Amino acid sequence: MKRNQFLLWSSAALLMSGCTIVEPGEVGVKVSMGRMQRNLLTQGIQSYLPGLDTIVHYSVKQQTLQGKAIPLTADQQPITMEYKVLYNVPEGQVLTLYEKYAGDPFTQLVEPQIQEAFRQVVSQYKADKATKQVNIIKNQVLSMTRENVKGLVNVVDIPITHVDLPEVLQTAIAQKQVMEQQALQKQYELDKAKKEAEITVANAEAQARSITLQTQALEKSPALIEYEKVKKWDGKLPDTFISGGAANTLFQLK
């Protein structure tokens, strides 16, 4: 009789039980009558009692999701930053995540921290600088997000894929860049003219010093005067000369 009752009860329990499949790259958390079991369910078929047990699936594979943040810059301009998030849930943190965060870990934990990190980081940059410092901003957002999720989720990377500013602001930045280039060109021209003037002055001073030295040398050395005459002679004999004597007669040589 007892044996028949046991078989009847076992058959009923089997008919009432359910099963679920934990896929590769997943683990399961089993909750029985409101109490979480400390042993994770691994891949394969897992049974449970409907109405009494619940099995929650967690992916521990690396995943990639897209997102968008629209923080304000230091000069109070909205800037749109589209990004990707590469992350995975460490198996050892699954039970903690279930206890502390209801639902998807990314939605409940990671995404809010990313949005807050973008808000804080971008607020340190003016709009024109933010568009040029994308990689630095990415690294700062990644570091802050990792710190705030405290290892509950492994955030691998947050590459920024696109940056956009309001059209009016883009025009203003473009005009500013043109003005900066023009200013740099003018400064270059001024520096060049100044340098050329300095070279001209230096050459003039050098020439003046040379003339002064030559004058001083001529005054001190009559022989140098004769040397300078020889340097200037064109190699032709004079057409006339004056003879010595009392009459100082002028003779034509040709």
More confident residue, 227 or 245: 227
Looking at the domain assignment, is residue 2 inside a domain?
A: no
Query: Region 154-180: what's the mean pLDDT?
Result: 75
Residue ending a domain, among 165, 195, 224, is 165
Distances in Å between the Cα of 224 and the Cα atoms of 232, 233, 244 are 12, 14, 26
Name the pLDDT band for 133 (thresholds 50, 70, 90): very high
Express as a percent the part of the chain with pLDDT over 90: 40
What's 88's domain CATH number? Answer: 3.30.479.30
Q: What is the pLDDT of residues 154-166, one digit of tens each?
A: 999 999 999 988 7
User: Range of 75's domain?
Assistant: 63-165
Instruction: Looking at the structure, tell me whether residues 17 and 71 fall in a common domain.
Output: no
The helix (H) or strand (E) run that includes residue 234 is none
Instruction: Looking at the structure, tell me whether residues 89 and 125 fall in a common domain.
Output: yes
Name the pLDDT band for 153 (thresholds 50, 70, 90): very high
Crossing angle of helices 134-149 and 111-122, in 10° steps, is 140
The helix (H) or strand (E) run that includes residue 250 is strand 250-252
Looking at the domain assignment, is residue 205 inside a domain?
A: no
Task: Please give the full DSSP string across 169-190, using - where no structure is assigned.
Answer: HHHHHHHHHHHHHHHHHHHHHH
Domains of the chain: total: 2
Looking at the domain assignment, is residue 89 inside a domain?
A: yes
Looking at the domain assignment, is residue 108 inside a domain?
A: yes
Residue 66 and residue 84 in contact, taking contact as beta carbons nearer than 8 Å: yes
Cα–Cα distance measured from residue 241 to residue 252, given in angstroms and rounded to the nearest whole number = 7
Q: Write down the pLDDT at residue 175.
A: 64
Q: Write down the pLDDT at residue 147.
A: 96
Residue 116 and residue 148 in contact, taking contact as beta carbons nearer than 8 Å: yes
- The count of other CB atoms within 10 Å of the CB of residue 46 is 17
Q: Write down the pLDDT at residue 73.
A: 93
Q: Write down the pLDDT at residue 17.
A: 65
> In degrees to the nearest 10, what's the CA dihedral of 149, 151, 153, 156?
100
Express as a percent the part of the chain with pLDDT over 70: 69
Instruction: Looking at the structure, tell me whether residues 90 and 21 fall in a common domain.
Output: no
- Residue 11: pLDDT over 60: no
Look up residue 6 and give its two tokens. Answer: 């046991």
More confident residue, 60 or 177: 60
Whole-number average pLDDT of the chain: 81
- Residue 253: pLDDT over 80: no
Looking at the domain assignment, is residue 253 inside a domain?
A: no
Q: What is the pLDDT of residues 24-52, one digit of tens each?
A: 999 989 998 888 888 998 888 888 888 88
Cα–Cα distance measured from residue 33 to residue 37, given in angstroms and rounded to the nearest whole number = 10
Name the pLDDT band for 186 (thresholds 50, 70, 90): low
